[in-house]
A and B are shown apart, each in its own frame.
Chain A
C-alpha cells in the first residue's frame, strides 16, 4: 500500500522537473544576471540585493566549491548560463583564466577603482575584497620580536607551537606559492619542511579552529586569515570573542616584502549572454557603497583605496602588504601542492 502511495505521489511529482525547466527558461531572459559563486551566499547577498535595488537587474545564484564550479563552467562551455564567476583566492581566479573561462573586462571605472596588482595583468579578473594571512600568537608565550617574518616560523625554537590548517586548502597553497615566487622553490621547500616540523598537532580544522586551539593552549602560534579573527572579535557569540581576545596579531615581513595578502574576486565568463549587465555589476561592486558593505559583512579590506575599513579591522592597525602580482599564486600552485606532499604537511 505504502509503495503504491509513494508511486502515485511520484506520478504527480513528475511535473516538478518541468517547473524547473520553466525557471531556467526565464533565467535566460534579459535584465537578469546569472552568477556562479564560490563565495558564501551570506557574504555576497547584501551587495547583490543592493545592486538589484539600484539597477532593477535580477540576480540568480548558484553557490559551490570553487574548483567544482570551474569544472561545471568548463563542461557547459559556450552554452553555460553563467555570466559572472565569483571566488575567493587569486589561485582559483588564475585557474579559471587558464582554462579560458573568462573574457576581458573592459571598464575604465573598474580599472580606476582597483589597483593594478589586485587585477589580472590581462584584465580577465579583478579583486573585490582583500584578506591578509598574518600570524597570531598568545601573549606571554611568544616574544613577537623573535617572530618577525614568515621565514621565522621555520625556526626550530617554535617546535610544537604552530597551529595551521591542512595544505589541502588553497589559502596555504597560495601562501607557499608566494614564498616560491619570492625565495625560489628550494628555499620554499626548506621553509615548509621547517614549519611542518614545528607543528603543534596534525593540521586539522579551519582557520577559526587554529585560533580556538591557540586560545585553549594547544599551541601558541596560529596562522589564519584576518577576516576570521576580525569576525570572531566582532562576534555575537561570547565564546568566540573570548578566543580572539586571548590572541594578538603579528604583521610579518614589515621590513621586507610585506604581509601575504589575497583577494576574493570575480570575472565575466567567456560564455556570458548578459555581458552589459555583468560589467554593470562589477562596476557597482567597486563603488564606495558596495566596498563598504564588503568591509562590514565579511570583514574584508576594501580593494578600492580610500574606502573606510570596518572598525574592527581599523583596531588591528595598518600594515605593509605584499605587492606581488596575485597571478603568481596560480602560476606556482601545483608546485606548492607537491612541496607540501614531499615535506609531509598534510
Chain B
C-alpha cells in the first residue's frame, strides 16, 4: 500500500519513533481485537504439544480429508468464478430476453441454506430417492444394472456448492462492473478490441479485487461447512476438526486443526494479494453515463438466457419448488404461533448483525486505507469467516465465560455480591459470534468498493476540512453505497442461515428458523423441515430484491 503516505498527512513521530496513533486507528484496533479474540484463542493452542493425536490423524484419515478439501476448493473456485463472473457480465453489459428478471433472481440461491439444499438434492438423487426409483421402476433395473452419478461424493458436493455459492461472486462482480466507468471500455473498443477482448483485457482485470473477494468468500463458506458435507458423506478438513474434538475428546488437537486451516486460508489470501503486485484499481475517470448494453439476438440471446437460467434453476427453482410442495403438505402441523416467534428472532438477529458488521467493516477498511500498518490486524479480524461456526462459538464462549467467572469471583470476594454471567448465554454474545463469523463478508464488499476511490479524493476531502469520520460519512459511503449495501445484504442472509454458533450460544427458550429447520431435518423429518426452511428463503428474498435494486441504482451518475 504505497499510497498510504498520500492518504494521510505525513505521520508525526511519537516518542518511540512510531507514528502517533490517532483516534480512528485506535478505534479500528479495538474493533479488530473484539472480532479477532476468538480466532486468536484458537490459534494460540498451536503452542500446546499434541504429538500423539496428530500422529494418529496423519497416519489414518488426515490425508483423505486434506485431499477432499483441496478438490472441493478447486471445484468451487472454478465453478463459482465462471458462473458468477459470466452471469454478472451478461446481465450488466448485455441486453437479452429475461435480463431484468435475471438481474435480481440470480441472487436467490443465496437465500437457501447449504444444509437445506444438501438434504433436498441428496433426497432426490440418491439410490432410494424418487429419481432413481422411477428409473428402476421404468426399466426394470436393480442395483448394479445401471450407472448413475454418485451424488454423495466430492464431485457432488462441489457441484451443489457451486450452484449455491456462485451468487457471492456474481454480487461482487456485478457491483464492480456497475461501478466501472464505461469510458475505459469504450477506449478499449476504439483501440480495436472486440467485445470479448475488452471484457477479458479491461473489465475483468479491473474487477479482479471484487472477483477474488467473491471467490474467497465462496471458498471459506465451502471449507467451514459441516452440515452439508456430512450429509453428503464427504470428509473434509472440518470433519477432522469435529472428529478430533467431539469424537476423540481432544479440543486442543481440534483447535490446532482449525488453526492450520486458518493459516492455509491466510496464505491463500496473501498469495492472491501478492500476485496483484503493485497494480491498483482506482478509477481514473470521473465520467459516467448509462451503460450501453450490447443487444444480443437469436442464438446468442438464447445462449445468454440458458447461461442465466441453469444456475438459477439448480440453485433455487428446483430446491425451492421441492420445499414449497413439502411445506404446503406439512403446513398445518408446522405453522403455529411459535413459528412466527422463530421468524422474528431470526430477522432481528440478522438486521442487528448486518448493521454492526457494516459499521465495523467501514471502520477497519478505512483505517487500513489511512495506515497500511493496520492491514495485518484487519486480515486477522476477517479470518473468522473460515472457521466453522461451532469453533468460533466455543472460541468465544471459553474466554468470555472465563472473564465473567473471574469478575464474579472478584465481586464475591470484595463486595459479597455475585455478578453471574451477563453476556455468556445472551443474545449479545450471539451477535458477537456472528460478527466474528461474517465480518469478512462486509469487509470484502466495502474494501473492493473503497479500492476504486483514488486516494486524491481522501486528500481533497481532508484538505477541505473534513475529519476522518466526516470524510467517510459524506464522501466515501455515498460513493460506495452499492458495495456497503452488498455487504449488509450478505451478512443479513448469512445470519438468517447460520446454524452451529446459534445452536451453541442461544439463550433459553430462544429458537430461530435455522435452528428449527435443523431440529426437524436432523431427525430426518425432511418434509416438516421444509416449512421453516422455506421461511428462511422467503425472508431472505425480500432484502435480496430490495438491495439488488439499490445496487443497480448505485451506479455513479445513474440518477444524474
**Contact surface of A with B, Cβ cutoff 8 Å:** 2-3, 6-7, 9-10, 13-14, 16-17, 20-21, 23-24, 27-28, 34, 40-42, 60-65, 67-69, 71-72, 75-81, 95, 166, 168, 173, 201-206, 208-209, 212-213, 215-218, 237, 333-334, 337-338, 341-342, 346
* Also in contact, A16 and B352, with CB within 8 A (given A75-B402, A168-B239): yes
Which residue of B143, B421, B505 is within 8 Å of A218 (Cβ)?
A: B143
Cross-chain contact A28 with B420 (CB below 8 angstroms): yes
Write the chain A residue with the least CB distance to B421.
Answer: A79
With the chains together, A62 CA to B397 CA distance in Å? Answer: 16
Cross-chain contact A76 with B355 (CB below 8 angstroms): no
With the chains together, A79 CA to B411 CA distance in Å? Answer: 13
Cross-chain contact A2 with B152 (CB below 8 angstroms): no
Report if B485 contacts A (CB, 8 A): yes
* Also in contact, A334 and B249, with CB within 8 A (given A68-B390, A72-B504, A75-B401): yes
**Contact surface of B with A, Cβ cutoff 8 Å:** 56-57, 60-61, 122, 126-128, 133, 142-143, 152, 230-233, 235, 239, 242-243, 245-249, 251, 348, 351-352, 354-356, 358, 390, 393-394, 397-398, 400-402, 404-405, 408, 418, 420-422, 424-428, 431, 477, 481, 484-485, 488, 500, 503-511, 515, 519, 522-524, 527, 546-547, 550
* Also in contact, A6 and B354, with CB within 8 A (given A71-B251, A204-B232, A216-B128): yes
Query: Within 8 Å CB of B508, what residues of A?
Result: 23-24, 27, 34, 60-62, 81
- Smallest CB-CB A-B distances: 5 pairs: A204-B233, A216-B128, A67-B246, A60-B508, A341-B60
Cross-chain contact A79 with B509 (CB below 8 angstroms): no
Which residue of A27, A203, A217 is within 8 Å of B143 (Cβ)?
A: A217
Query: Within 8 Å CB of A13, what residues of B?
Result: 348, 351-352
CB distance from B317 to the nearest CB of A (A): 24
Write the chain B residue with the least CB distance to A165.
Answer: B233
Which residue of A2, A173, A204 is within 8 Å of B547 (Cβ)?
A: A2
With the chains together, A346 CA to B230 CA distance in Å? Answer: 11
- The binding surface of chain A is classed by DSSP as helix
CB distance from B230 to the nearest CB of A (A): 7
CB distance from B488 to the nearest CB of A (A): 7
Cross-chain contact B547 with A76 (CB below 8 angstroms): no
Assuming A3-B477, A27-B508, A65-B246, what are 9 further A-B pairs, CB within 8 angstroms? A13-B351, A64-B504, A67-B246, A68-B500, A78-B405, A79-B401, A79-B420, A209-B128, A346-B235
CB distance from A97 to the nearest CB of B (A): 13
Which residue of B57, B243, B477, B550 is within 8 Å of A168 (Cβ)?
A: B243
Write the chain B residue with the least CB distance to A212.
Answer: B128
Query: Within 8 Å CB of B56, what residues of A?
Result: 338, 341
Query: Within 8 Å CB of A213, what residues of B?
Result: 127-128
CB distance from B390 to the nearest CB of A (A): 6
Write the chain B residue with the least CB distance to A208.
Answer: B524
Query: Within 8 Å CB of B425, what residues of A?
Result: 24, 72, 76, 81
CB distance from B149 to the nearest CB of A (A): 14
Cross-chain contact B426 with A17 (CB below 8 angstroms): yes
Cross-chain contact A75 with B398 (CB below 8 angstroms): yes
* Also in contact, A337 and B519, with CB within 8 A (given A34-B508, A209-B524): no
CB distance from B545 to the nearest CB of A (A): 12
With the chains together, A40 CA to B356 CA distance in Å? Answer: 33
With the chains together, A7 CA to B362 CA distance in Å? Answer: 14
Query: Within 8 Å CB of B57, what residues of A?
Result: 341
Cross-chain contact B421 with A81 (CB below 8 angstroms): yes
With the chains together, A76 CA to B504 CA distance in Å? Answer: 12
Cross-chain contact A338 with B426 (CB below 8 angstroms): no
Which residue of A95, A215, A333 is within 8 Å of B128 (Cβ)?
A: A215
* Also in contact, A76 and B401, with CB within 8 A (given A13-B351, A60-B508, A204-B232): yes
Query: Within 8 Å CB of B142, what residues of A?
Result: 217
Cross-chain contact B428 with A17 (CB below 8 angstroms): yes
Query: Within 8 Å CB of A79, what residues of B?
Result: 401, 404-405, 408, 418, 420-421, 424
With the chains together, A46 CA to B355 CA distance in Å? Answer: 39
Which residue of B60, B152, B484, B507 is within 8 Å of A20 (Cβ)?
A: B507
Write the chain A residue with the least CB distance to B230.
Answer: A168
